Amino acid sequence: MTTQLSVDLGARSYPIVVGTGLLSDVGRFAPFIAGRQVCIVTNETIAPLYLDTLKKTLAQYQVDECVLPDGEQHKTLETYARVMDHLMNNKHNRSTTLIALGGGVVGDITGFAAATYQRGVALIQVPTTLLALVDSSVGGKTAVNHPHGKNMIGAFYQPRLVLADLDTLRSLPEREYLAGIAEIVKYDVIRDAEFFGWLEANVTALQARDAAALDHAVITSCAIKAAVVAGDEREEGARAILNFGHTFGHAIETLTRYEYLHGESVAIGMVMAADLSVRIGMLGRADGRRIKALIAAFGLPVVPPGNVTADAMRASMGMDKKVIDGRLRLVLTSSIGEAVVTDRFDTTAFDATLTAHGKLCED
Residue ranges making up the domain that contains 39: 3-171
Residue 307 CB coordination number (10 Å)? 8
Report the distance separating Cα 306 and Cα 330, nearest Å.
Answer: 23
Q: Are residues 183 and 118 in the same domain?
A: no
Of 160, 176, 243, 321, the active-site residue reads: 243
Q: How confident is the model at residue 320 (pLDDT cuts 50, 70, 90)?
A: low
Whether 146 is a known active-site residue: answer no
Of 28, 74, 86, 141, the active-site residue reads: 141
pLDDT at 344: 85
Whether residue 124 contacts residue 163, with contact meaning beta carbons closer than 8 Å, is answered with yes
Whether 259 is a known active-site residue: answer no
Q: How confident is the model at residue 18 (pLDDT cuts 50, 70, 90)?
A: very high
Instruction: Give the CATH number of the domain where residue 276 resides.
Output: 1.20.1090.10
Whether 225 is a known active-site residue: answer yes
Q: Are residues 265 and 308 in the same domain?
A: yes
Whether 239 is a known active-site residue: answer yes
**Position 89: which residue type?**
N
> What is the total residue count of the chain?
363
pLDDT above 80 (res 319): no
Of 65, 176, 183, 264, the active-site residue reads: 183
Q: Are residues 224 and 162 in the same domain?
A: no
Q: Is 45 helix (H, G, I), strand (E, B) or coil?
A: coil
Whether 250 is a known active-site residue: answer yes
Whether 89 is a known active-site residue: answer no
pLDDT tens for each residue of 294-312: 999 999 999 999 889 999 9
Cα-atom radius of gyration of the chain, to the nearest Å?
Answer: 20
Q: Are residues 182 and 296 in the same domain?
A: yes
Q: Spell out the alpha helix ranges (H) of the chain.
A: 26-29, 52-57, 77-89, 104-116, 130-131, 174-191, 193-201, 203-207, 211-231, 246-255, 262-279, 285-297, 310-317, 347-356
Q: Are residues 226 and 267 in the same domain?
A: yes
Q: Are residues 199 and 332 in the same domain?
A: yes
**Using CA of residue 76, residue 157, residue 159, residue 85, what is the dihedral sign?**
negative
CA-CA distances (angstroms) from residue 304 to 55, 77, 163, 253, 265? 42, 28, 34, 10, 8
Q: Are residues 62 and 151 in the same domain?
A: yes
Q: Which of 171, 199, 221 lies at the terminal end of a domain, its last residue? A: 171
pLDDT at 263: 96
Whether 243 is a known active-site residue: answer yes
Residue with more model confidence, 74 or 362: 74
Q: Are residues 162 and 229 in the same domain?
A: no
Q: Are residues 167 and 183 in the same domain?
A: no
Q: Which of 171, 201, 232 lies at the terminal end of a domain, its last residue? A: 171
Whether 338 is a known active-site residue: answer no
pLDDT tens for each residue of 114-172: 999 999 999 999 999 999 999 999 999 999 999 888 899 999 999 999 999 999 998 89
Report the distance separating Cα 184 and Cα 300, nearest Å.
Answer: 13
Q: Which of 142, 171, 200 lies at the terminal end of a domain, its last residue? A: 171
Q: Are residues 231 and 88 in the same domain?
A: no
Q: Are residues 153 and 195 in the same domain?
A: no
Report the distance separating Cα 4 and Cα 202, nearest Å.
Answer: 24
CA-CA distances (angstroms) from residue 355 to 82, 293, 301, 306? 41, 20, 16, 10
pLDDT at 150: 86
Q: Are residues 190 and 292 in the same domain?
A: yes
How many structural domains comprise the chain?
2
What is the residue-wise DSSP string for 153-191? EEEE---SEEEEEGGGGGG--HHHHHHHHHHHHHHHHHH
Of 191, 239, 290, 292, the active-site residue reads: 239
Whether 200 is a known active-site residue: answer no
Of 65, 72, 176, 235, the active-site residue reads: 235
Whether 91 is a known active-site residue: answer no
Instruction: Give the CATH number of the domain where residue 165 resides.
Output: 3.40.50.1970
